[in-house]
Amino acid sequence: MTEVARALRDRTAVCGTGLLIGEYPERTPLSLAVEAYQLALDDAGMKRGDVDGIIMLSFGSDYDRFLEAVGTDVRYSYQGWSHGRFVAPMLQHAALAVATGMAKAVAIVHGRRRKAYGQTADFEMWRQGLGPHGESPAYGALGPVFGAAIAAQRYFHMYGGSNADLAPIAVAFRKHARLNPLSVRSDPMSIEDYLKSRWIIEPLRLFDCCQNNDGGACLIITSAERARDCRKPPVYVSGMQGVHAGRQFHNLTLPGLGVAQQEVYKYTPTKEDLYAYEMAGITSKDVDALITYDAFSPLVLFGLERFGFCGPGEAREFVKGGRIEIGGELPINTSGGLLSEGHVIGWNLFIEAVRQLRHECGERQVKDANIIQYGSFLGESVIFRR
C-alpha cells in the first residue's frame, strides 16, 4: 500500500446521481444522457457550469456532441469502451482526476437504447480477435451469454451443483426489484417460476440473463470538501482497485476455472487481490452490502469468491436461505440489479450504492448501511463510505 493510496482515501465523493430506466421509444441516447445529467445536477444542487470534467462510454452519444447539447466546456474529458467491466475504472478515473486537481467536478454520463431482439450484427466484430467474452464468433457464438454459460458449466463441473443453484440469486434480486419503483421487472418470481423459464444456453435460463432496456445514468464526482456543501450527503470513495486482465482472466469468470487459456486451480484471493480493502482501511467483514455486476446470475457466485466472502466452490450454498436478501447476512444488488432493475451498462449499480449510503431506499434500505462495496469477478472494486 502506497502513501499516495492512503492519502486518496475519502478525498473524493459522489455528490449527485441521475437515473432513467425503462422504455423510451421516441428518445435518442443523447437525449437520455442529457436528462440523466440534469437529474444529477439537480440532485447535487449544482449548475452546468460547476462541472469541468466529463467521462462517457463509446457507444451512445459522443462526448463532444453531449457537451454541445448541454452548452458546456470542460478541461478534462475521456471516452471509454462500453463494457460493464469498465464502469468501475471510469469512476476511478473521475476520482483520480478530481484528487489530482485536473478537474473540480467530473460527470460520468451515459445514455443507451436497447438492442433489437434477434439482432445479429454486433460491434464486437470490429475488435481484433472478435468477441472478448470467451464466445466463439467464427462458429456463430456471438453473444456474451455463451461465455457466461461456458464458465458456469465449468464451475459446476469442478465444484458440483447445477442450474437450480442459480435460482436463489434471480429470486432474491426480483424480490429487491419489487421494492424499487424504477425496476423494469417487478412481477413476482418464485423458485418454481424460475425453474419453468426456458433455457437460453444450459445451465442458464431466461431469468439468469439481464434486462434489455433503454436508459440514462449520471454520477458526479467532486472533492470531499465540495461535496459536503452539496444538496445531498456525500458518499466517499474510500478504496479502489482495477480490472485484472491477461491469460488467467477470462472475461466472464474468476481465475482458475480453466476456461479458454486459464489454468485449472482453486482460486483464493491474495493480499494484492484485495488492495481496495487495504486502501479503505477495512476488511470484507465491514461491508454492509455488496454490489456486483450481474449481467448473468453465475457472475454473482464468481464475485463472491473473487473477494473471499466465501471459499472456492462455496458461493452456490452461500446464496441460499435468504443470506443475500435485504435483512440477510450480506445483501447483494438491493435495487434488483441488472437481472431485474434494468441494464444501464452497470451505472445503475453504482447509483444504488450511493442511494443506500444516503439512506434513501425506503422499503429496500439496508439497515445502518455505512460501507458498501462494488466488487466484480475480474477484480475491479470501489468501496464507498457514508
Residue 292 corresponds to which cell in the numbers above? 456486483
One-letter amino acid of 195: L
SS3 of 55, please?
Answer: strand
For cell 453531449, the residue is 66
**Do strands 381-385 and 289-291 pair parallel, antiparallel, or not at all (unpaired)?**
unpaired
Residue 303 corresponds to which cell in the numbers above? 464475485
Percent of the chain with pLDDT over 70: 92
Question: Do 349 and 380 touch, CB atoms closer than 8 A?
Answer: no
Q: What is the pLDDT of residue 231?
A: 98
Q: What is the pLDDT of residue 118?
A: 54
How far, in Å, are 25, 92, 219 from residue 333 at the CA level? 27, 20, 18
What pLDDT band is residue 95 in, cutting at 50, 70 and 90? Answer: very high
Query: For the segment 118-134, what is each residue's pLDDT rounded down to a tens digit?
Result: 555 555 555 555 555 66
How are the residues of the chain apportioned to helix, strand and coil, as percentages rounded to the nearest 5? Answer: 35, 20, 45
Q: How many CB atoms lie within 10 A of CB 146?
A: 22
pLDDT, greater one: 61 or 335: 335
Q: What is the pLDDT of residue 58?
A: 76
Q: What is the pLDDT of residue 256?
A: 95
**In the predicted structure, residue 265 carries a pLDDT above the cut 80:** yes
pLDDT, greater one: 328 or 260: 328
Question: Do 40 and 50 touch, CB atoms closer than 8 A?
Answer: no
pLDDT, greater one: 360 or 260: 360
Average pLDDT, the chain: 93
**In the predicted structure, residue 136 carries a pLDDT above the cut 80:** no
pLDDT, greater one: 83 or 377: 377
Q: What is the domain partition of the chain in residue ranges?
A: 3-116+209-385
Domain 3-116+209-385 has CATH 3.40.47.10: yes
**In the predicted structure, residue 238 carries a pLDDT above the cut 60:** yes
Query: For the segment 290-324, what is each residue's pLDDT rounded down to a tens digit?
Result: 999 999 999 999 999 999 999 999 999 999 999 99
Q: How many CB atoms lie within 10 A of CB 39?
A: 18
DSSP codes of every residue in 298-340: HHHHHHHHHTTSS-TT-HHHHTSTTTTSTTSSS-B-TT-HHHH
Burial of 35 (C-beta count, 10 Å sphere; 0-12/13-18/19+)? middle
Residue 17 phi, psi (nearest 5): -135, 150
Nearest CA among 52, 12, 14 for reference residue 220: 14
